[in-house]
């Protein structure tokens, strides 16, 4: 959760500016939670170790009966994605 908490204030800072002050080049693109989880899931599905969205430690793909990953588990905080 630390990763999301650190990024959230930047998102709200860009929303606090007046609409005239914001330009597409001035806004720092911050991925949404959906984008973050989708990227992690894509990488796990490709059999890659990814950065845990909670603690930034390595998250390993977990396998079920078949050769395709069914999710991932963080080696540090124990978070899982299924």
71-80: pLDDT as tens digits: 999 999 999 9
- Position 25 scores a pLDDT of 56
- Position 57 scores a pLDDT of 94
For the chain, the domain total comes to 1
Does pTM surpass 0.75?
A: no
Residues in a beta bridge with 67: none
Question: Starting from the edge strand earliest in sequence, which strands make up the sheet with 50-51, in order?
Answer: 50-51, 58-63, 69-74, 80-81
pLDDT greater than 50 at residue 44: yes
- Position 11 scores a pLDDT of 44
**Pick the residue with more confidence: 49 or 22?**
49
Structural domain for 44, as ranges: 2-81
Q: 67 pLDDT band (50/70/90 cuts)?
A: confident
Q: Which residue has the tokens 């959906």?
A: 34
């Amino acid at each position: 959760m630390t990763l999301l908490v650190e990024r959230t204030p930047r998102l709200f800072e860009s929303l606090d500016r007046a609409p005239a002050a914001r330009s597409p080049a001035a806004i720092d693109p911050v991925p949404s939670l959906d984008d973050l989880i989708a990227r992690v899931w894509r990488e796990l599905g490709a059999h890659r170790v990814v950065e845990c969205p909670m603690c930034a430690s390595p998250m390993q793909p977990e396998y079920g009966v078949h050769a395709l990953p069914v999710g991932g588990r963080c080696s540090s905080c124990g978070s899982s994605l299924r």
